[in-house]
């Protein structure tokens, strides 16, 4: 029997929780589906902090300018204005709801990160900002009697009838069988797709399912070629690519090569505080030049007490791997980190498919352009999560819910799991080697050929989603014959505003096209 609710939110990171709280204010029934426990999301892993205009020497115009510069000409100005002006209100609200940002003598502590012109980054418990924000939002969501959190409920597909999203099909965590739930509208807040790559800072849940489901449902995708690679992920054998925060370089960390020589001066005058894409490419170039698999982050100029207090989670994680961040050089190399592209939305989270809204990393709002400014992502989730929730209420409150008879798929979970593991392993390797930090026509064409071969197999839903997403990234990367932000082509190394000051748009059943604007 199909379930029914007023609104469905998929994902319980900052965007999903904030959207849910906004929806519940109207008294609507809100069902939040998440593939893992409620607190497991990219938000929880966000160490760097949240950028916001709250200090006396800062203003919205400066934050906007920094964001536009980082976005390399492809930011939507209206989206950036919305982010930096409304962000302050929503951070103050978070503080009212009990979020414990770091303070000194009662005053908020602001730090600086790469490409920011002011110290405007708030942290919580040193390097556990995302985790603290999720804690506060879950506590606030639990005060709303109409919000139902449903963990371990893996969404398989969106339900569409008469060109409108009417619900979702998910795997019931108790019955272990597919079920349908219908609603007035669905808000996708499923996060990014870092797991497309062999090396990533993202948690296992970041497989891009929300993007793929939206694409298959008929929604437009934009700017999928722009992937941000974080320059400094811990690079050790048999260890996950744990993120060594941008803030470590913001506090004075130095990058050294295998000979112990500081090298960023050979690549950019901003040294370690250059934008992430430049630092990542510089590290790759230095590793190739020296024939090594990593470089080193040097924090030894700072006291152990300071580092232990400022980066407690990083300190303890490195200690687990017998590294003292105050005394040892830390082996690092780049890893996939953030998707600037995603579901194309307007400034209120509306996708191009009626009844489907989206917020956070799963979207392309135009806020990040070709390259995300550090610590803008948590702010985006807050601001646009609230806006998507508000728009979904306004647009659909009077709508009546209808249960539709839809076909179900035959499934063999055991076989599907085996296929999915093998497919994902192959796709991740190809993405890293051919659609990674440095790209060219030959590598991208070879990747697409391999993805086509994989697609011809009898794939499970999750495998189909995964390889389709990889094809979207590779297709748009092949289409964009220039280098800009998180997209670098060895065969087209220069930015070309005359021909490529535009966005890629992809839709099921149509050739890739371009648009002057993201918002519609």
Catalytic residue IDs:
276
Decide: helix, strand or coil at residue 466: helix
Token pair in block for residue 235? 């690079």
Rg for the chain, CA atoms, rounded: 22
What distances in angstroms separate CA 41 from CA 333, 336, 340, one per listed residue?
23, 16, 17
Decide: helix, strand or coil at residue 424: helix
Closest Cα partner for 377 from 225, 481, 246?
Answer: 246
Decide: helix, strand or coil at residue 110: strand
Q: How many Cβ atoms are within 10 Å of 3's Cβ, its own excluded? A: 17
Angle at 483 between CA 477 and CA 486, to 5 degrees: 70
Decide: helix, strand or coil at residue 195: helix
Token pair in block for residue 160? 């569409």
Angle at 182 between CA 391 and CA 339, to 5 degrees: 55
Decide: helix, strand or coil at residue 364: strand
If phi > 0 it is left, if psi is from -120 to 50 it is alpha, else beta; for residue 123 that is beta
Closest Cα partner for 149 from 39, 43, 44?
Answer: 39
Closest Cα partner for 58 from 3, 120, 14, 109?
Answer: 120
DSSP state at residue 200: B
What string of H, E and C letters represents the secondary structure of 277-337? HHHHHHHHHHHHHHCCCCEEEECCCCCHHHHHHHCHHHHHHHHHCCCCCCCCCEEEEEEEE
Q: How many Cβ atoms are within 10 Å of 238's Cβ, its own excluded? A: 5
Token pair in block for residue 401? 């819910």
Q: Decide: 306 and 273 in contact? Cβ < 8 Å.
A: no
Helix axes 77-96, 129-141, angle to 10 degrees: 70
Q: Decide: 355 and 317 in contact? Cβ < 8 Å.
A: no
């Amino acid at each position: 029997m199909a379930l029914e609710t007023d609104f469905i939110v998929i994902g319980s990171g900052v965007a999903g929780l904030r959207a849910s709280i906004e929806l519940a204010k109207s008294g609507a029934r809100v069902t939040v589906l998440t593939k893992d426990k409620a607190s497991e999301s990219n938000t929880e892993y966000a160490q760097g902090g949240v950028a916001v205009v709250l200090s006396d020497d800062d203003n919205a115009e400066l934050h906007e300018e920094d964001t536009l510069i980082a976005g390399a000409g492809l930011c939507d100005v209206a989206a950036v204005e919305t982010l930096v002006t409304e962000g302050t209100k929503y951070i103050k609200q978070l503080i009212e709801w009990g979020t414990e940002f770091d303070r000194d003598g009662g005053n908020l502590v602001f730090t600086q990160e790469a490409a920011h012109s002011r110290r405007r980054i708030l942290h919580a418990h040193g390097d556990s900002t995302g985790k603290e924000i999720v804690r506060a939002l879950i506590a606030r969501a639990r005060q709303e009697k109409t919000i139902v959190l449903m963990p371990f409920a893996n969404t398989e597909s969106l339900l569409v009838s008469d060109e409108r999203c009417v619900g979702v099909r998910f795997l019931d965590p108790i019955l272990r069988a597919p079920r349908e739930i219908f609603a007035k509208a669905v808000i996708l807040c499923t996060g990014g797709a870092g797991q497309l790559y062999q090396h990533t800072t993202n948690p296992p849940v970041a497989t891009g399912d929300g993007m793929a489901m939206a694409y298959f449902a008929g929604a437009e995708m934009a700017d999928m070629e722009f992937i941000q690679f974080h320059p400094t992920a811990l690079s050790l054998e048999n260890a996950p690519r744990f993120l060594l925060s941008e803030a470590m370089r913001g506090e004075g960390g130095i990058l050294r090569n295998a000979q112990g020589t500081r090298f960023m001066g050979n690549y950019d005058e901003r040294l370690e505080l250059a934008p992430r894409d430049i630092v990542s490419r510089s590290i790759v170039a230095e590793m190739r030049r020296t024939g090594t698999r990593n470089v080193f982050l040097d924090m030894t100029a700072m006291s152990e007490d300071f580092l232990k207090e400022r980066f407690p989670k990083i300190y303890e994680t490195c200690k687990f791997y017998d590294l003292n961040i105050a005394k040892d050089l830390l082996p690092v190399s780049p890893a996939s980190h953030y998707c600037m592209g995603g579901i194309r939305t307007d400034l209120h989270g509306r996708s191009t498919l009626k009844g489907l809204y989206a917020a956070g990393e799963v979207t392309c709002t135009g806020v990040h352009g070709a390259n995300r400014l550090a610590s803008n992502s948590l702010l985006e989730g807050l601001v646009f999560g609230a806006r998507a929730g508000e728009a979904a209420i306004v647009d659909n409150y009077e709508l009546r819910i209808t249960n539709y008879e839809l076909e179900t798929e035959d499934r063999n979970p055991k076989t599907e799991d085996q296929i999915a593991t093998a497919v994902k392993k192959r796709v991740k390797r190809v993405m890293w080697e051919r659609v990674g930090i440095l790209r060219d026509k030959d590598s991208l064409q070879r990747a697409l050929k391999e993805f086509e071969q994989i697609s011809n197999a009898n794939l499970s839903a999750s495998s189909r989603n995964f390889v389709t997403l990889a094809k979207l990234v590779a297709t748009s990367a092949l289409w964009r014959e220039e280098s800009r932000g998180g997209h670098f082509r060895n065969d087209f190394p220069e930015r070309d505003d005359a021909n490529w000051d535009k966005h890629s748009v992809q839709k099921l059943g149509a050739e890739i096209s371009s648009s002057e604007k993201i918002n519609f």
